[in-house]
Amino acid sequence: MRILKLTILLIFNFVSFSTITCQSVQNDSIKLDYAKIYSFALDGKPTRALPLLEIDPTKKISKKDLKFITDFEGRFKFKKDKSDFLETRKSKIDGLLKIYRDYWRLSFLNNNKKYDTLIMKNVFKFLKKEFPLSQKLTFNKDSIDVYQKKYISNLGYHSTGFGKTGSLYDLLVWKTEKDTVYKVNYDRKETDIKIYFMDDFVTLGWNEYATLGRYYPAGWAKRDALFCVKKAYDLKSEKFRVSYIGHEGRHFADYKLFPKLKGVGSADLEYRAKLTELALYSPDGLYNRLQFFIDNGNYDSENGHSIAAFCVIRDLSRLLFQNDYEKDMDKWKAIPATKINEAATKLLEENTKSLEKIPNVEKFIK
């Protein structure tokens, strides 16, 4: 049980000027805009980040950045994936993972098209061929969900089933899990919540694939328990207490308070969970989290996380700055963390009162 020289150049002659200038150019270094690159990737559009990787050969670049460019372009720039994604995660579900990898990549390369029917057909055919116990499998989402879970379970793994993260069907598969009960306090009520800590992942889904492993779902909530990707957190850290327990616990509570709100990944649920985080963080974590929401907020996205991040920054900006979307972190940092905590709490309380007035509310934020 756990509780929660600018250098001044003295130019003596033309020759010395030319030499210094040449050296200056060669010493210039490139810095990749990782925040923007990852923002595109997390919105399911990694190919839009490719122009950001075009480099001036006369400038210096670190080995780390050069490797990232090589790996990212290898995965998304060419007709076929040239990366080692599949080779580095060999398992008993290789065939199924390849189907998903190809679907994710096709979706990334053609953002204006939907491939939901294609992934359904390919998984359906795969299960019919590779899983003898799928005689009763029919071509619909629920049936595919049931039999995909059975197939993966029979091979000794756990999975999330046939469902979406944002706008894309996802595949998260892991080998081991262990449960622990935590006491948490929500809406002035102490509640026991079971948390399953998951480890030994084969795949953490399309977010992991799109960001070369930098980002992935760190956890999620179901109506009876929370699930946590163990490697994502130091369990003694504020990040765990706030961005996991606080965020996912908010989902856990909201499933009971507002059962009709659209499921995992919905903008409404994410809006409330992100406000919960900002209401709880100390200064050490608060401003970093705000920066992440600013960088990744996108109202026109099909990803509930991106829409919610935009709405959180928009509504806090209106409350604290009287503008529609404040991006300048120096202005945010000029405001005491406690004032931002209070503003996030106020927005969450107002959202709760509004939702309570609408029976069977399914969608609210705009």
Q: Distance of CA 56 to CAs 21, 31, 49, 85, 198, Å?
A: 17, 11, 16, 28, 43
Q: What pLDDT does residue 264 have?
A: 55
Task: Show Cβ contacts of residue 237 under 8 Å, excluding neighbours closer than 6 positions.
Answer: none
* Statement to judge: residues 160 and 213 lie in one domain: yes
* Statement to judge: residues 106 and 184 lie in one domain: yes
Boundary-marking domain end, from 205, 232, 259: 232
Boundary-marking domain end, from 167, 199, 232: 232
Q: What pLDDT does residue 185 have?
A: 77
Residue 16 within a domain: no
* Statement to judge: residues 32 and 117 lie in one domain: no
* Statement to judge: residues 99 and 74 lie in one domain: no
Q: What pLDDT does residue 159 have?
A: 97
Beta strands 219-221; 172-186: pairing state: unpaired
| Segment 68-120, tens digit of pLDDT | 999 999 999 999 999 999 999 999 999 999 999 999 999 999 999 999 999 99
Q: What average pLDDT is seen over the chain? A: 90
| Segment 313-351, tens digit of pLDDT | 999 999 999 999 999 999 999 999 999 999 999 999 999
DSSP per-residue codes, 134-167: -TT--SSHHHHHHHHHHHHHHTT-EE--SEEETT
Residue 6 within a domain: no
Tokens 């900006």 belong to 317
List beta partners, residue 165.
168
* Statement to judge: residues 104 and 218 lie in one domain: yes
Residue 242 within a domain: no
How many distinct structural domains can be found in the chain? 3
| Segment 219-236, tens digit of pLDDT | 999 999 999 999 999 999
User: What is the domain range of residue 289?
Assistant: 247-366
